[in-house]
Structure 1
Amino acid sequence: MPLVRNPILPGFNPDPSVLRVGEDYYIATSTFEWFPGVQIHHSRDLANWELAARPLSRKSQLDMRGDPDSCGIWAPCLTHDGERFWLVYTDVKRKDGSFKDAHNYIVSAPAIEGPWSDPVYANSSGFDPSLFHDDDGRKWFVNMLWDHRRRPQLFAGIALQEFDPRAGRLVGPRKNIFPGTELGLVEGPHLYKRNGWYYLLTAEGGTGYEHACTLARSRDIWGPYETHPQKHILSSKDHPHAALQRAGHGDIVDTPDGRTYLVHLTGRPITQLRRCILGRETAIQEACWGDDDWLYVKNGPVPSLFVDLPAARDDTKYWAERRYTFEAGLPADFQWLRTPEPERIFRTGGDGRLTLIGREAVGSWFEQALVARRQTHFSIDAETVIDFSPSDERQFAGLTAYYCRFNFFYLTVTAHSDGQRELLIMASEASFPLGGLRFPLPAPAPIPNQGKVRLALSIRGRDLQFYYALEGEQELKKIGPVLDASIVSDECGGHQVHGSFTGAFVGVAASDLNGTAAEAHFDYFLYRPVHHESDRYEI
Structure 2
Amino acid sequence: MPIANPILPGSHPDPALIRVGDTYYLVNSTFEWWPPLNLHRSTDLRHWEPLASPITSAAQLDLRGDPSGFGVWAPDLSYAHGRFWLVYSDVASVKASFTDCRNYLMTAERIEGPWSEPIALNGVGFDARMFHDDDGRSYLVQQTCDFREYKPPFAGITLTEFDVDAMRLKPRTARIIWKGSGHGAVEGPHLYHIGDWYYLFAAEGGTGYDHRESVACSRSLDAASFEPMPGNPLLTSADDPELPLQKQGHASLVDTPDGAWYIAHLCARPWRSAADAADGDGMRGWSTLGRETALQRVVWDDDGWPHVVGGRHGLRVVPSPDEAAAVPDAPAEPVAAGTVVAAGFADDARLPVGWKTLRVPLGDAARFEPGRLTLRGQDSPCSVFDVSLVARPWTAVANEASVHVDFAPWSFQQMAGLIQYYGGALWSAIVVTWNEDVGARVVEVVRNDDNVTASFLRGRAPRVPDGCDSVWLRTTVDIDRYRYAYSFDGVDWKDVGVAFDARMLTDEYAEHAGRGFFTGAFVGVFATDMTGYGAEARFADFTYEDLGDRDE
**Normalised TM-score (structure 1):** 0.94
Q: Letter of the aligned partner of 2:346 in structure 1?
A: F
The 3-state SS of whatever aligns with 1:493 is helix
For residues 495 and 486 of structure 1, the distance between their equivalents in structure 2, rounded to whole angstroms, comes to 11
* Superposition pairs of residues 11-410 of structure 1, within 5 angstroms: 11-81=10-80, 83-150=82-149, 153-172=152-171, 173-223=173-223, 224-271=225-272, 272=276, 273=283, 274-310=285-321, 319-329=339-349, 330-340=351-361, 342-350=362-370, 352-410=371-429
Local SS of the residue matching 1:78: strand
CA distance, structure 2, for counterparts of residue 498 and residue 415 of structure 1: 31
Give distance in 2, aligned partners of 1:474 and 1:184: 55
Deviation at 1:166, TM superposition (A): 2.1
**Aligned-partner SS, 2:230:** strand
Shift in Å at residue 441 of structure 1? Answer: 2.7
Q: Distance in 2 between matches of 1:263 and 1:96?
A: 31
Amino acid in the other structure paired with 1:425: V
> What's the offset of the Cα at 1:406?
1.6
Q: Distance between the aligned counterparts of 2:433 and 2:452, measured in 1?
A: 19
1:512 maps to 2:529: yes
Partners of 2:457 and 2:96 lie apart in 1 by 36
Q: Does 1:466 align with 2:484?
A: yes
Q: What is the rounded CA distance, in whole Å, between the counterparts of 1:106 and 1:33 in structure 2?
A: 19
Instruction: State the alpha-carbon separation in 2 of the partners of residues 226 and 497 from structure 1.
Output: 35
Pick closer, same or farther for the CA change 1:193–1:501 going to 2, 3 Å.
same
Looking at structure 1, the residues matched to 498 and 336 of structure 2 have their Cα atoms a distance apart, in angstroms, of 32
Identity of aligned residues (%): 41
1:73-124: CA deviation from partner (whole Å, max 9, x where unpaired): 0000111115111110100110243211010010011111111211111100
Q: State the one-letter code of the partner of 1:536.
A: R
Provide closer, same or farther for how the CA distance between residues 196 and 307 of structure 1 changes in structure 2, counting only shifts above 3 A.
Answer: same
Aligned to 2:326: none
**Is there any run of 5+ residues in structure 2 with no aligned partner, and where?**
277-282, 324-331
Range with greater deviation from structure 2 (252-261 or 441-450): 441-450
Q: Secondary structure at the match of 1:445?
A: coil
> For residues 335 and 413 of structure 1, what CA distance do their matches in structure 2 show?
22
Counterpart selection for 2:443 from 412, 423, 431: 423
Q: Distance in 2 between matches of 1:349 and 1:5?
A: 37
For residue 245 of structure 1, what is the amino acid of its counterpart?
A: Q
Q: Deviations over 1:324-382 (max 9, x none)?
A: 13332321121100024x214311124x3100110001121000000011111111111
Structure 1 residues 336, 473: CA separation in 2 closer, same or farther (over 3 Å shift)?
closer
The CA distance in 2 between the partners of 1:493 and 1:307, in whole Å, is 32
What TM-score, normalized by structure 2, do the two folds share? 0.92
What do the CA deviations read for 1:295-329 (whole angstroms, capped 9, x no partner)?
A: 11112211211211136999889934532133323
Using the alignment, how far apart are the partners of 2:319 and 2:420 within structure 1?
35
CA contact (8 A) 1:463 1:484 kept: yes
User: Which secondary structure state, in structure 2, belongs to the residue aligned with residue 180 of structure 1?
Assistant: coil
Q: After superposition, what is the alpha-carbon deviation per residue over 1:137-181, rounded to whole angstroms, capped at 9, x for unaligned?
A: 111101111111246831111111111122121004110111112
Give the 3 Å change call, closer, same or farther, for CA 84–379 of structure 1 in structure 2.
same
Contact 1:355 1:522 in 2 (8 A): yes
Q: 2:490, 2:509 → 1: CA distance?
A: 37
Alignment check: 8 A CA contact 2:32 2:63 kept: yes
Tell me the amino acid that sits aligned with residue 170 of structure 1: L
Pair 1:445 & 2:462 matched: yes
C-alpha distance in 1 between matches for 2:387 and 2:64: 10
Note the residue ranges of structure 1 that are not aligned, 5 or more in a row: none
Secondary structure at the aligned position of 1:240 is classed as coil
Distance 1:89 1:255 in 2: 25
Corresponding letter in the other structure for 2:264 = V
The one-letter code of the counterpart of 1:424 is E
User: Alpha-carbon deviation of 1:499?
Assistant: 4.5
Is the 2:344–2:372 contact (alpha carbons within 8 Å) kept by the matching residues of 1? no
1:326–1:524: 8 Å Cα contact kept in structure 2? no
